[in-house]
Amino acid sequence: MNILLCESQYRTRSWVKALKKNKNLFILSVLTEEYKLFLDIGIPKNKICNLNHKNLNLEQKISKIKNFLNYFEKNYSLNINKYILMDRTLRTKKDTVILQYVYNIITREIDFIKKNKIQLIFMEATWFHELILCKIAEKLKIPVLVPVRDKIISNKFYFFYGENRENFFKRPKRTARFNETNSQHKTPYYDYLSKRNKITFNKIIIFFRLLRLSILDFNNPFIQAPFHEQVSVKILSIFRQIIFKFYLNFYHPRIDEKFILIPLHVQPEAGIDVIGEKFSNQLEFIRQIARTTPVNFKIYVKEHPHDFGRRRLNFYNSLKEIPLVKLINPNFSNKTLIQNAELIISVAGTTSLEASIIGKKAVTAAKSQFNKIMIKPKFDPFNQEVNELVNSPIKPNLYKNKNYLRSLQRNLFEGKIMDSKVDRSVMDNENIQKLRKAFNEVINFYKHNK
């Protein structure tokens, strides 16, 4: 069975290591550093589709490109611009550059898939080349599976289908029951990620790694920002966090008042920019919620502790101008807020899941596999009203919710799938063996169920 793995920076290093013994493994690569790594571990050059910008022809005639893309949109029943807007880097380029890049990516991917008769794809759906690959595969009827770590149980993951996290691979032989159905006190990698915008020794290591990539000219401008920009953003984020702690007048939650909790998302990030792309403007999302919130409620907006420092001051000032909205310190206990909120609303956040597990009213704007345990399958504040949720007699059924979560968790696979730079243990032999077993189970299923 011919398998395609779409490289997604350092996250897929462990995947390639787990699958490298497969003689029918093909790879889409976008970063020079990773391309060289694949060659070093023995992946044949003719089995790698190099999508690095240096290996693309970005000088075709625009008229030819427009004709092809117009045909592609009609043939595949999609709008290319939707996927361009989801890509935080590509959408900042000039129109002609975007068209040339998009044309190259689409034609190269289609040619490579057809030439090598790809039958199964593993990937992460974040960047344009990944998102459009999902649509190409859908048209060609090729299954696309996306490993996504579980939000509740450490070191376990699902295989989701396509770019949306609604449907997942259901294991023919289900895993053993897990006792851990309640939300953890801290989600996996919380401690590491909470230091994202703080001064740590690891920042020095990151600085030299980015400097090395810049000196070697390994950066792909369609995926990575220039060295100076990455460093300046990080420095600004660190100083903003320090300054904002003193400057921003955070509201101290009052447990005796009625409030709706809205947790902010880390952004840019696939959860908000891809899965919840219609609601990616979080400021406008909150403003629409405020429009239909009963006047006797407050709206507590809690900044994400992993993102604090990256947003600019005008974002918080605009938030505070919205009636009923109160900005909560990112370090305030999430558990306390969830337990005392009347309602929790997020775009696609884990907080809504945690709330539903303990029997609180919660919804998300984007659909997910967890929506069945919430009070509505999804909530669109642009077309629905908050007061209907607040006054709804429907409440989560704890018994049914826990049983539903257990049924989901029986489809989990063992293994860590995080970025190897975030957690080096993902490259340990023990973890690679777990990933190999997981990937092979899916591959064998499709071998026998073509």
- Tell me what pLDDT residue 47 has: 97
Model pLDDT for residues 270-316, shown as the tens digit of each residue: 888 888 889 999 999 999 999 999 999 999 999 998 888 889 999 99
SS3 96: helix
Model pLDDT for residues 376-399, shown as the tens digit of each residue: 989 999 999 999 999 888 888 888
Q: Are 36 and 14 in contact (CB under 8 A)?
A: no
Structure tokens at 440: 């092979």
Q: What is the pTM of this model?
A: 0.89
Structure tokens at 48: 């790698």
Helix (H) or strand (E) holding 346: strand 343-346
What angle separates helix 128-139 from helix 62-76, to the nearest 10 degrees? 50
> Structural domains in the chain?
3-175+416-448 (3.40.50), 190-247 (no CATH), 259-407 (3.40.50.2000)
Whose tokens are 């949109």? That residue is 73
- Tell me what pLDDT residue 396 has: 81
Average pLDDT for 363-379: 89
Model pLDDT for residues 410-441, shown as the tens digit of each residue: 999 999 998 888 788 999 999 999 999 999 99
What angle separates helix 227-247 from helix 201-215, to the nearest 10 degrees? 150
What angle separates helix 62-76 from helix 95-115, to the nearest 10 degrees? 60
DSSP-derived secondary structure letter, 162: S
Q: How far apart are CA 207 and CA 232, in angstroms?
A: 11
Please spell the DSSP secondary structure of 22-56, one letter per residue.
-TTEEEEE--HHHHHHHHHTT--GGGEEE--GGGS
Measured from the Cβ of residue 48, the count of other Cβ atoms closer than 10 Å reads 19
Greatest C-alpha distance within the chain? 65
- Tell me what pLDDT residue 80 has: 96
Residue 259 has pLDDT above 60, yes or no: yes
Cβ neighbours of residue 166 closer than 8 Å, sequence gap 6 or more: 160, 367, 368, 369
Model pLDDT for residues 90-135, shown as the tens digit of each residue: 999 999 999 999 999 999 999 999 999 999 999 998 999 999 999 9
Structure tokens at 323: 């009636």
Q: How far apart are CA 364 and CA 352, in angstroms?
A: 7
